[in-house]
Copies of this chain bind each other. A is one copy, B any other.
Amino acid sequence: MTAQNPALVLTAYCANRAGIVAALSKAIFELGGDIVDLQQFDDAGTAQFFSRVVFRGASDPIAEDAARQALEPVMAQFGMKWSLSIQGARRRVLLMASRFDHCLADLLYRWRIGELAMDVRGIISNYPRETYADLSFEGVPFHFLPVTKETKPEQEAKLIEIIDSEQIDLVVLARYMQVLSSELSARLAGRCINIHHSFLPGFKGARPYHQAHERGVKLIGATAHYVTGDLDEGPIIEQDIERISHRDSPQELVRKGRDIERRVLARAVRSHLEDRVLLNGSKTIVFPE
């Protein structure tokens, strides 16, 4: 991307049929666009077509609005669900954490050095600010939203207020150890990423490292997924593992797990911010970076 001639990112999906790529690429060409990257996936099971196209003006820059207008007819023709955005445009993100701050600290670091195209609009925790005494939030508003079973509706109402007023594009549960209500999960469908500290579907629920130690597995892992009403069942975006041994106590699994969690979550967030993740029912398509 050059600042003068920014690229545009189109994601689109629809029922599959012949001629989609031809129609799409023709529209982009007639708009004066040069396709920089095109990735597609035909799901044989569901007969759906998914694609992500990056293009920019071959000679002159293309305005987002002009592109939108030019693409509208072809999108309508194929009944496509689609989105268009300027490559590298920063999304408005809310970070949520609880007692452990390794994922939060890592995301803030990556944001600061420009690795993640996001504007952090707020940090929310059910723990008070002093929990993160050593973390600089660099001017980002912090919201202490404690929660109990009884106060959850009320707490989530405050949360929704922040999400709405800040026009949040993405909520990241960076080891936020509270389960969202199914109403809130539904409202945030496809724009709320959680990190679970096991290689799902193994070790759902609480204390997965202790479960892993108990079972005697030789690998531990972490899973980043979109949040759905069904706990630990949301569409998986990214997973990774590390080798462990009988020598590792649960505490050592927790320590080793921190490294896995932070890199898995960061990769998932990055993929989402770059419009490389498309939902496909209860699964995801993640186009390679």
**CB atoms of A246 and B21 under 8 A apart:** no
- A202-B202, A218-B236, A219-B240 are contacts. A246–B280 as well, Cβ < 8 Å? yes
Query: Do B200 and A217 touch (CB < 8 A)?
Result: yes
B residues near A17, Cβ cutoff 8 Å: 34, 58
Task: Give A98 Cβ to nearest chain B Cβ, in Å.
Answer: 15
Q: Please, what's the 1-or-0 string for A66-99, where 1 marks a CB less than 8 Å from any CB in chain B?
A: 0000000000000000000000000000000000
What class of interface size applies to chain A in its complex with B? 35 or more
Q: Is the CB of B109 within 8 A of A246?
A: no
Any chain B CB within 8 A of the CB of A25?
A: yes
Stretch at the interface among A36-44, A117-125, A143-151, A157-165: A36-44
Which residues from B are CB-within-8-Å of A35?
A: 18, 20-22, 40
**Bound-complex Cα distance A192 to B93 (A):** 41
Q: Which residues of B contact A39 (CB under 8 A)?
A: 39
Closest Cβ of chain B to A4, distance in Å, is 16
Within 8 A of B (CB), among A136-173: 136, 138
A42 to chain B, nearest CB (A): 6
Q: How far is the CA of A74 from the CA of B101 in the complex (A)?
A: 47
State whether B284 touches A246 (Cβ < 8 A): yes
A25 interface neighbour in B22, B34, B41, B43, Cβ under 8 Å: B22
Complex-state Cα separation, A49 to B23, whole angstroms: 20
Asked if B246 and A41 make an inter-chain contact with CB atoms under 8 angstroms apart, the answer reads: yes
Given contacts A216-B283, A241-B241, A246-B285, 9 further A-B contacts (CB under 8 A): A17-B58, A18-B33, A134-B136, A200-B202, A217-B236, A219-B240, A246-B286, A247-B289, A259-B263
